[in-house]
Amino acid sequence: MFEVILRRIRELSESTRDFQFVRQDGQQLDYKPGQFYRFVFEDDEGEFERSYSLCNYEDLYGDTLDLVISRVVGGRATRLLFNCSEGLTAKVTGPFGRLVLPEVDPGRLIMVATSVGLAPYMPMLRELETREISKVVLLLGVRDRTEFIYGDLLRRYAGSHDFFDLRFCISREAPVADDEFAGYVTEQLQALAPDPDSDHVLLCGNPAMIDDAWGYLKELNFRPKKVVREKYVFAREKKAASSALTDDQKKLIAEKMKKYS
Ligand SMILES: Cc1cc2nc3c(=O)[nH]c(=O)nc-3n(C[C@H](O)[C@H](O)[C@H](O)COP(=O)(O)OP(=O)(O)OC[C@H]3O[C@@H](n4cnc5c(N)ncnc54)[C@H](O)[C@@H]3O)c2cc1C
């Protein structure tokens, strides 16, 4: 475990900000691009933990942890992080997670994200510059163009790396550029005609999207180790005893669990 302090906050869109934390122990980061860390924050009710993928792009292995976080209505971390200033501290453990680049280069790598599920792919893009993967496709699902976080950077990367194909999938606006497509990432995934023998697929973000995409890939005979999935599931408070919940709260939780299962 190490301590971090918040050095910079930037607004990326109405609902999304990036947060740069700095390690206080003088050590450098040691992780694989794509992994996440667990952050223990403290608010007026005490300590609580949330997981965040590292989104580092400029500096991968220094002493800074870049996070991109979207607002969740009524969320505890949201309340703290979207109302704090520089100087906020947290305790951090990690790295964790299996959403990393495959050791052996696949014929094609397909990276799929919804919204801030893009985060783990940002450091991976830097690592890809040192690899020999002949084709990489990133499908990024957003509702509208305000959610094109890092859109300019991704388009510049696509313009300067021949192996990289970028497809924005927009569900609530009409596409206007060559790299924009109407609808959901799952539709674009189908359009790519994934090949279970040569493709490797990474899925990150909304749990419902991941279930849909994985369901489709299973039908194509993809083996589980060729499809690495990371769901941005909501946190369950460890300390909240179920007996302390009201019937309405229990019903709400049961509905959420049903939605995400
Ligand atoms: C491995 C991992 C990596 C993650 N990385 C990131 C990241 O890089 N960026 C990021 O923004 N988030 C990420 N998350 C999600 C993050 O950990 C928090 O769950 C998120 O920030 C919401 O926390 P909160 O305290 O504001 O909301 P909570 O207090 O946890 O939730 C408040 C209410 O909103 C509901 N809720 C919470 N999240 C969602 C959601 N996504 N959609 C719909 N309802 C929801 C809950 O059921 C609850 O009722 C990651 C999660 C995991 C498991």
256 CA closest ligand 1 atom index = 47
Class at the top of the CATH hierarchy for domain 2-97: mainly beta
Class at the top of the CATH hierarchy for domain 108-231: alpha beta
Task: Please report, for the chain, the start and end positions of each structural domain, with discontinuous segments joined by +.
Answer: 2-97, 108-231
Residue nearest to atom 52 of ligand 1 (CA): 232
Positive/negative CA dihedral, 21, 58, 115, 216: negative
Global pTM reads: 0.90
pLDDT in tens, the chain (261 residues): 999 999 999 999 989 999 999 999 999 999 999 999 999 999 999 999 999 999 999 999 999 999 999 999 999 999 999 999 999 999 999 999 999 999 999 999 999 999 999 999 999 999 999 999 999 999 999 999 888 889 999 999 999 999 999 999 999 999 999 999 999 999 999 999 999 999 999 999 999 999 999 999 999 999 999 999 999 987 665 444 344 444 555 555 555 555 443
Q: Is the CB of 254 under 6 A from ligand 1?
A: no
Residue nearest to atom 32 of ligand 1 (CA): 75
Do the two domains 2-97 and 108-231 of this chain adopt the same fold?
no
In a 10 Å sphere around its CB, with 0-12 CB exposed, 13-18 middle and 19+ buried, how is residue 177 labelled?
Answer: exposed
Q: Is the CB of 234 under 6 A from ligand 1?
A: yes
Q: Is the CB of 81 under 6 A from ligand 1?
A: no
- Check: CB of residue 213 under 8 Å from CB of residue 190: no
